[in-house]
Structure 1
Amino acid sequence: MDIKEIQNLIKFVAKSGASEVKLEMDDIKITIKTGSDDKAESTTYVQQMPMGAAPMQQTHAPAVASQTPTAVPASDENSKYITIKSPIIGTFYRKSSPDKPMFVEVGKTIKEGDVLCVIEAMKLFNEIESEVSGKIVKILVDDSSPVEFDQPLFLVDPS
């Protein structure tokens, strides 16, 4: 996770109204605490751990106003595909309710504006629409599983 992703996460948490968020991944632990409504401040502690080692570094990163999307390097076999990423943190669902059909399946052709999935965040179900046209090659997330901001969800072949 690079500094731009951390900055985007800080912005998202500040806008969400949450008072504290803790995120732990394989090599990094992040705790974001936002101030009360009277204060417009947030405190972020980032603890990065090298592979197989104890925690080594602790950094204080202030909230930053710039928001720049980050590109994830694609592997050679997937470089011809477009990756659709999660715009928010939440729970990924492939259908609108248990008795409804899946929004998309592998092999289905999609166009801009088609609903691909829903992500539940803070009891709100957000429809995620496609920004590209093409064919779904791979679904990268299991149904009803948590997703992070900017996590790859689908691979789409634009040809």
Structure 2
Amino acid sequence: MKAKEIQELIDFISNSGLAEVKIETDEFKLSIKKNSEVAVARAADIPSAAPAAVPQPAASQAPDTNNNHTPSTASFLEVKSPMIGTFYRSPNPDSDFFVNVGDVIQKGQTVCIIEAMKLFNEVESEVSGKIVKILVDDASPVEYDQPLFLVEPQN
């Protein structure tokens, strides 16, 4: 399937009442899911998308030794990448970042974009809290389930 055909399929789904389409052949798998305003397409070698942020303790993260004011990372939650792609902190090079260290975020708030197969997918936080660390550089490749942000939960 060519990129133009995939784009036409995405456009068709966007304009129809369908919420999800899966196509599988011997050569590829394509899953397109209408998720608010974002369509996601995955190649067969990309694992299925998980929730954008899975609340899990970040106990495996090493503490930031350069900042003595950072509390233990065991109490932090991780916002993880739902797919393989390129991580972007802003919607375009001329825009401000979605979030910065110290920002308080709400569940459902867009925190970054992951580009996969020339599709830009907004990643929404599954938790509310304060961003304490950004673990990935802007425009860097990321893996599925890779931690992107550390979030201190808000009570």
Determine if the TM-score, normalized by the shorter chain, exceeds 0.5.
yes
The question of whether the paired residues in 1 share the 8 Å contact of 2:57 and 2:77 is answered with no
Q: For residue 152 of structure 1, what is the aligned residue in structure 2?
A: 147
For 1:73 and 1:136, the matched residues in 2 are separated by: 13
How many pairs are equivalent? 99
92, 95, 102: which one aligns with 1:97: 92
Matched, 1:120 2:115: yes
Unaligned runs of 5+ in 1: 1-35, 41-66
Cα displacement (A) at 1:151? 0.3
For 2:110 and 2:82, the matched residues in 1 are separated by: 14
Could you say what the CA RMSD is over the residues aligned between the two structures, in angstroms? 2.9
For 2:106 and 2:27, the matched residues in 1 are separated by: 44
SS at the partner of 1:128?
A: strand
Query: Structure with the greater relative contact order (CA < 8 A, sep ≥ 6): 1 or 2?
Result: 2
Cα displacement (A) at 1:37? 1.8
Matched, 1:37 2:22: no
Runs of 4+ in 1 over 4 A off after TM superposition: none
For 1:78 and 1:135, the matched residues in 2 are separated by: 13
Deviations 1:63-113 (A, max 9, x none): xxxx9x8x6861482110001110100000000001111000000000011
Unaligned runs of 5+ in 2: 1-23, 29-49, 64-71
Counterparts of 1:34-113 in structure 2 under 5 Å?
A: 37-38=25-26, 74-75=59-60, 77-113=72-108
The question of whether the paired residues in 1 share the 8 Å contact of 2:78 and 2:151 is answered with yes
For 1:78 and 1:150, the matched residues in 2 are separated by: 18
SS at the partner of 1:79?
A: helix
For 2:148 and 2:103, the matched residues in 1 are separated by: 15
For 1:110 and 1:91, the matched residues in 2 are separated by: 22
For 1:94 and 1:39, the matched residues in 2 are separated by: 33
TM-score by length of 2: 0.57
% same residue: 59
